[in-house]
Amino acid sequence: MLKYALLGFLNYQPYTGYELKQTMDVSTANFWHAKQSQIYMTLKKLEAGNLVTSEIEPQEGRPNRRVYTITQAGRSDLQSWLSKPITQLEPHKETLLLQLFFSARQDKATLLTQLRLLRDLHQQQVKHYKIETKAVVQDFAASTGLGKDALLWDATRRFGEQFEAMTVRWLDETIAMIEETF
Amino acid sequence: MLKYALLGFLNYQPYTGYELKQTMDVSTANFWHAKQSQIYMTLKKLEAGNLVTSEIEPQEGRPNRRVYTITQAGRSDLQSWLSKPITQLEPHKETLLLQLFFSARQDKATLLTQLRLLRDLHQQQVKHYKIETKAVVQDFAASTGLGKDALLWDATRRFGEQFEAMTVRWLDETIAMIEETF
DNA sequence: GAATACATGTAAAATGTTACATGATTTT
DNA sequence: AAAATCATGTAACATTTTACATGTATTC
């Protein structure tokens, strides 16, 4: 899957592995992230499969850059993935829910403290989406002039914002339930 | 992490690997799932670490069962994990958002078809949580008499229900946005 | 003087998925 | 007669994380 994140970005313009990591960190990281080392390895695999090519750009006083460019085969592969509809939902993993599921014998006060702390973390995330992520989307849109793209980028941002807001509401309900009935 | 899911269940009673898989499939699978083979391997590791013990129960006309029991060390490990608060959020992966992010050049009609199909899938999931999962929680509560546990199990169920409902709302907004502005 | 940014990579370990292998009993 | 259930496991592969390894230039 990281494969398609990388091809997706390379479909706009050539990038180095380092730049791809930075770009992902301020854009797709909210719903698709990767470590630097994994990006380098995946790019190597993509090149082995002729989906991208690379060339080294020498630099002075800095390490050389390896710049990757998508190939025609890469564009086809990306296109084919994009047009393939999702027909079944993938299961999620939520550590928080796993913990909560087994917490019936935990101390009530401790449990409440943990959940309140988490509530604040998620509340911060709501702000993060409303402010930082919002700004990034607008900057991208202004600098690239990609209107349609910006609308979809903002749709993914709204998903994040609404997910976090929903989580805060759910935590509030859950905290209230534990306060009352435990 | 699967480690703690298994210890969590074994903290109630002994289970075989097969039974753990079945139990997870109707309970935690919504937020934590695993393949049968991974469960067997993880149990083996837990036994090597003395967090569980196992003994073989011979059966006639059926394969023998290997029944796992949690040890005192296992209970301590679980307890220590349960009391450790989550201080930083883990990043999520959402294939749908990744696809959407790069879909600006896709055909409008095709994109709308894909999103509407997905909307229906998530709508079904809302029902799944409201009916099937709800019933499982109530059955567990009734048969085990674990009142506190059932309240927390239902809290995780509500998270799923609310997540799916939020996703349906977001898809409706996104579909409307694409219909109007693309 | 210390930290961050720039820039690349390898290696080991952990985690998770898919495929293979077996075989009786029960249900459809 | 075919499919599902019960029950265990191994092996290969893919994915992801963590740690290791290097070195200059710029910013605080």
* pLDDT tens digit sequence for B39-95: 999 999 999 999 999 999 888 777 889 999 999 999 999 999 999 989 989 999 999
Q: Select from B29, B90, B97 the Cβ nearest to the Cβ of A31.
A: B97
Please answer whether residues A20 and A87 qualify as being in contact, where contact means their C-beta atoms are separated by less than 8 angstroms: no
Please answer whether residues A65 and B97 qualify as being in contact, where contact means their C-beta atoms are separated by less than 8 angstroms: no
β-partners of residue B67 are B16, B55
Chain C bases closer than 7 A to any CB of the protein: 6-11, 15-20, 22-25
Minimum mean pLDDT among A58-72, B68-82, B91-105, B160-174: which range? A58-72
* Percentage of chain B modeled with pLDDT above 90: 88
- Mean predicted lDDT score pLDDT of chain A: 95
Distance CA B181, CA B118 (A): 20
Distance CA B143, CA A60 (A): 72
Pick the closest to residue B154 from A65, A26, A178 (CA basis): A178
* The pLDDT value given to residue A61: 74
Place of tokens 């095709």: B110
pLDDT in tens, B15-36: 999 999 999 999 999 999 999 9
Asked whether strand C has any atom less than 7 Å from the CB of A3, the reply is: no
- CA distance from start to end of chain A: 43
Distance CA A38, CA A5 (A): 12
pLDDT at A60 over 80: no
* The pLDDT value given to residue A145: 83
Work out the angle between the directed axes of helices A36-48 and A2-10 (0-180°, nearest 10): 80
Which nucleotide comes closest to B60 if you measure CA to C1'?
Answer: C24
Place of tokens 């190597």: A44
pLDDT at B168 over 80: yes
**Total residues found in chain B within this entry:** 182
Environment class of A44 (CB within 10 Å of its CB; exposed 0-12, middle 13-18, buried 19+): middle
pLDDT at A65 over 80: yes
Give CA separation, B133 vs B27, B44, B123, in Å.
8, 30, 15
* Percentage of chain B modeled with pLDDT above 70: 100
Distance CA A114, CA B148 (A): 17
* The pLDDT value given to residue B59: 82
Please answer yes or no on whether A158 and B152 come within 8 Å at the CB atom: no
* The pLDDT value given to residue B169: 98
Distance CA A22, CA A54 (A): 19
3-state secondary structure of A53: strand
Please answer whether residues A31 and B97 qualify as being in contact, where contact means their C-beta atoms are separated by less than 8 angstroms: yes
Distance CA A10, CA B74 (A): 48
Please answer yes or no on whether A98 and B5 come within 8 Å at the CB atom: yes
**Chain A residues inside the 8 Å CB shell of B117:** 85-87
Distance CA B27, CA B31 (A): 9
Q: What are the helix and strand counts (H, E) for chain B? A: 8, 3
* The pLDDT value given to residue A105: 95
Distance CA A72, CA A110 (A): 57
